[in-house]
């Protein structure tokens, strides 16, 4: 059985990569492709965790790749140039492989699993997801005339679940931190609303949103885990501040 599960992890790389490549050649099939992509994520993760945890406990492991695949599916439509699209597909397959490999090790080869690997990897996947969502939604506003109010609501919902996943995977109670989760989702949604007024491109706006998510969730995570100190705050301020400065200097302002 463990060999079958190991094979399923490698097979999923081919399926996800193949479906994204199919999207490049048959963009009109996007409804069917996104359903198959997300179904692959769900089936693989349920297969790897079957017998290890109860079904209701799978959410901390399911949400990061589920949101990553969905957001990258949308973002792919705004990647310019066929070569860059192929490279983007390789990036998504690579990120999926890192996550699913650690899932396999965590549940089936715990001796090889590095402590806190899934917590850190899921945090990075969520950060990438926020960038993809933020950039894509700003593209919808700029190029397709979508309602910014409706997209802000979607941002709130997505961030709410991503922050809740962060709480879950750190073995904390989401019920006791529900108000805090809502506040974080609201703050980041307001940041998305503000960035739509900036004279910058959709990529820069997406990065700004991701920086805000990184700073706020990082500080809150350390605070909840009672590991927040001056050094942690300085580190997040330096990384976020320098990243924002680079964006301000290099972004195209209109």
Burial 142-157 (b: 16+ CB within 10 A, else e): eeeeeebeebbeebbe
As for how many domains the chain has, the answer is: 2
Domain holding 199, by residue range, is 132-254
- Considering the domain architecture, whether residues 59 and 164 belong to the same structural domain is answered as no
Task: Give the pLDDT band (50/70/90) at residue 170.
Answer: confident
Same structural domain for residues 78 and 107?
A: yes
Question: Mean of the per-residue pLDDT values for the chain?
Answer: 90
Please, are residues 202 and 139 in contact by the beta-carbon 8 Å criterion? yes
In a domain, 53, yes or no: yes
- As a whole number, mean pLDDT of residues 204-210 equals 93
Distance CA 176, CA 74 (A): 33
Q: Most distant CA pair in the chain: distance in Å?
A: 57
| Residue 152 in tokens | 């802000």
User: Mean per-residue pLDDT for 13-25?
Assistant: 95
Q: Judge whether 121 lies within some domain.
A: no
Task: Measure the CA angle with vertex 106, ends 102 and 110; round to 5°.
Answer: 120
pLDDT tens digit string along 110-163? 888 898 899 999 999 999 999 999 999 999 998 888 888 999 999 999 999 999
Pair (143, 53) in one structural domain: no
Q: Length of the chain, please? A: 254
Are residues 87 and 143 both part of a single domain? no
On whether the CB atoms of residues 105 and 29 are closer than 8 A, the answer is no
Distance in angstroms between the alpha carbons of the first and the last residue of the chain: 57
Please indicate, yes or no, whether residues 180 and 96 belong to a single structural domain of this protein.
no
203 lies in the same domain as 242: yes
What is the model's pTM?
A: 0.93
User: 254: pLDDT confidence band, cut at 50, 70 and 90?
Assistant: low
pLDDT value at 1 more than 70:
no
How high is the pLDDT of residue 142?
85
- 212: pLDDT strictly greater than 90: yes
Structure tokens at 67: 């949101």
> Both 2 and 97 in a single domain?
yes
What confidence tens digit (pLDDT) does each residue in 131-141 have?
Answer: 999 999 999 99
């Amino acid at each position: 059985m463990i060999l079958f599960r190991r094979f399923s992890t490698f097979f999923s790389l081919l399926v996800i990569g193949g479906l994204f490549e199919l999207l490049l050649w048959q963009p009109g099939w996007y409804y069917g492709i996104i359903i198959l992509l997300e179904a692959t994520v769900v089936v693989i993760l349920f297969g790897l965790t079957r017998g290890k945890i109860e079904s209701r406990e799978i959410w901390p492991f399911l949400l990061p790749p589920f949101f990553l695949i969905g957001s990258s599916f949308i973002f792919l439509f705004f990647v310019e140039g066929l070569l860059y699209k192929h490279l983007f597909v390789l990036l998504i397959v690579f990120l999926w492989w890192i996550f699913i490999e650690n899932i396999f090790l965590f549940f089936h080869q715990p001796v090889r699993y590095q402590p806190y690997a899934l917590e850190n990897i899921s945090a990075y996947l969520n950060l990438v997801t926020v960038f993809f969502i933020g950039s894509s939604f700003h593209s919808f506003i700029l190029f397709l005339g979508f309602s910014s109010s409706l997209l802000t609501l979607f941002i709130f919902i997505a961030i709410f679940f991503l922050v809740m996943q962060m709480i879950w995977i750190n073995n904390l109670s989401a019920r006791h931190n529900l108000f805090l989760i809502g506040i974080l989702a609201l703050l980041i949604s307001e940041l998305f609303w503000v960035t739509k007024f900036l004279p910058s491109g959709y990529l820069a706006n997406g990065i700004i949103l991701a920086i805000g998510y990184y700073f706020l969730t990082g500080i809150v995570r350390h605070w909840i885990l009672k590991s927040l100190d001056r050094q942690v705050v300085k580190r997040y301020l330096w990384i976020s501040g320098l990243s924002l400065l680079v964006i301000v200097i290099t972004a195209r302002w209109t």
